[in-house]
Structure 1
Amino acid sequence: MDIILIDRGYAFPDRYGNGLKLCYGENGKVQKIGEFTQAVCCDINLSKGDEMAPSEFYEDFTEIKNEV
């Protein structure tokens, strides 16, 4: 599974396989999947390969492969 790091958040496949969901932790700290107890999950769903519109918060896409 690919995890895409977006600035202070992770975008990762949702449990239903309907694309990617962005999550970020408190104070902008990125948390690994499995440590999202205090994370905020946005209502933003991305399909793999989609690009997000540029903004101050969502920038600097970095792809991290095979990290769980």
Structure 2
Amino acid sequence: MGKSLREKIKELPIERQNKIEKRAQELIALELTRQKLRLEKLKLRKVRIINQKKVIILRKVNDNVLF
């Protein structure tokens, strides 16, 4: 069986290993930020839908009061 990625990285010079680790941490941080933004976007979308439903209800009530 072939070597794992971790094993291959351990064979590299320490400077290269450090560079790879630093980049991996940057990518992880970016992905976490992306996930947080996606969740926030979903929350905002839900709030907007709820607000739109409230406006529709208020318009119906208002229409009924006027007529």
TM-score grouping bracket, smaller chain normalisation: under 0.3
Larger RCO (CA within 8 A; separation ≥ 6): 1
Mark the structure with the bigger radius of gyration.
Answer: 2
State the TM-score, normalizing by the size of structure 1: 0.17
The TM-score normalised by the length of structure 2 is: 0.17
* Structure (1/2) with the larger strand percentage: 1
